[in-house]
Amino acid sequence: MKEVLYGLNSLVIAGVLLCSMVLAIVLGHRVGRRTASAPDAPARDHVNAIQSSLLGVLALLLGFTFSLALQRFDSRSEALVDEANAIGTAYLRARLLQGDADAQARALLQRYVDLRVRSAAISLEHDAPRHEVLAQTNAVLDALWGLTERAVEADPNPVRTGLFVQSLNDMIDAYGRRDAALGRHVPEVIWLLLYATFVLTTAVVGYASGSAGHRPAFATYILVVLIVVLAFLVVDLDRPRRGLIRVDQASLLNLKAGIDADLAPGAAAAGASPLPRPAVTGRP
């Protein structure tokens, strides 16, 4: 089931949260003023204790969600580096293939890297373009596998074709792991629980100030802004392809630049010059 909040802009979520918390403080303060006709110290102490407990629960939930989003972000970053290394290894080992299979495999891998770089720039909520790029990627993988089958039939040497088959398998596995990592994010029910906790906590803060007979302190609104900023950062961390905090694509971009340089017409005319090849990272 598609989650609604994941498709909303992070700034919209932060704005709604800020307005909701300020409104909760105002309403809580009004209710507290109406019930403060008879000062009751034990009752105020009870409200203050509840307020402190709710602030502690809020901090716990916010810290837990931040940790969860940060773990997801780190796993996506590692998956991208692993995929870039796997593609680089397959590209280097493609040189072991005999005949035209070498050039065909490297050309297909160049196309594959282009598609992976393009897919990294498409946000996950844009289903149509993302599915189109994924379909093209799967078509390239099918073509690579068919080429590998023909290369194995023509040259069953495990030292040459066997190493390339292994690296191609690793590359396909890395592709699956990275796409699976992109689909893992903080569940929507946790965001809804956080939202309810934020609103209820600020309502109790407003109620406590109203029952004590004074307006909410300026520090209360500073706390609200700080909570909204932290919530915005957590939401942004949970969305690796949009917002302020994005997964670094340097590994894929450097690999693409190295492969493009290696397959450029000038590089082919230079013969056996090894200069472009170190840019293609992997395990030959």
Residue 272 has pLDDT above 50, yes or no: no
Out of 45-59, 75-89, 185-199, 200-214, the most confident range is 75-89
Confidence of residue 111 (pLDDT cuts 50, 70, 90): very high
Residue 226's contacts (CB-CB under 8 Å, 6 or more residues apart) are: none
- Of the candidates 76, 40, 5, 129, the one whose C-alpha atom is nearest the C-alpha of residue 251 is 76
pLDDT at 266: 58
Residue 87 has pLDDT above 90, yes or no: yes
**d(C-alpha 239, C-alpha 13), whole Å:** 13
Residue 252's contacts (CB-CB under 8 Å, 6 or more residues apart) are: 80, 83, 84, 113, 116, 117, 120
The whole-number average pLDDT for the span 211-230 is 85
Neighbours of 107 (CB within 10 A): 15
**d(C-alpha 34, C-alpha 207), whole Å:** 10
- Is residue 209 in some structural domain? yes
The whole-number average pLDDT for the span 226-237 is 88
Range of the domain at 186: 5-279
- Is residue 213 in some structural domain? yes
If one counts the domains in the chain, the total is 1
- Is residue 157 in some structural domain? yes
pLDDT at 43: 67
Confidence of residue 278 (pLDDT cuts 50, 70, 90): very low
- For residue 279, the 8-state DSSP code is G
- Is residue 244 in some structural domain? yes
Mean pLDDT of the chain: 82
pTM here?
0.77
Say what percent of the chain tops pLDDT 90.
23
pLDDT at 171: 93
Contacts 24+ apart (CB under 8 A), 119-127: 120/80, 120/241, 120/247, 120/249, 120/252, 121/241, 122/241, 123/239, 123/241, 123/242, 124/6, 124/182, 124/183, 124/239, 124/241, 125/6, 125/7
The whole-number average pLDDT for the span 45-60 is 81
The whole-number average pLDDT for the span 112-117 is 92
pLDDT at 68: 85
Per-residue pLDDT tens digits for 166-219: 999 999 999 999 888 877 777 888 888 888 989 998 998 888 888 777 788 888
Per-residue pLDDT tens digits for 130-167: 889 889 999 999 999 999 888 888 877 777 788 888 99
**φ, ψ at 214 (rounded to 5°):** -140, 160
**By mean pLDDT, which of 115-119, 187-191, 223-227 is the weakest?**
187-191
- Is residue 246 in some structural domain? yes
pLDDT at 214: 78
* C-alpha distance across the termini of the chain, in Å: 42
**d(C-alpha 23, C-alpha 188), whole Å:** 23
- Is residue 198 in some structural domain? yes
Residue 250's contacts (CB-CB under 8 Å, 6 or more residues apart) are: none
- Is residue 284 in some structural domain? no
- Of the candidates 86, 103, 113, the one whose C-alpha atom is nearest the C-alpha of residue 282 is 86
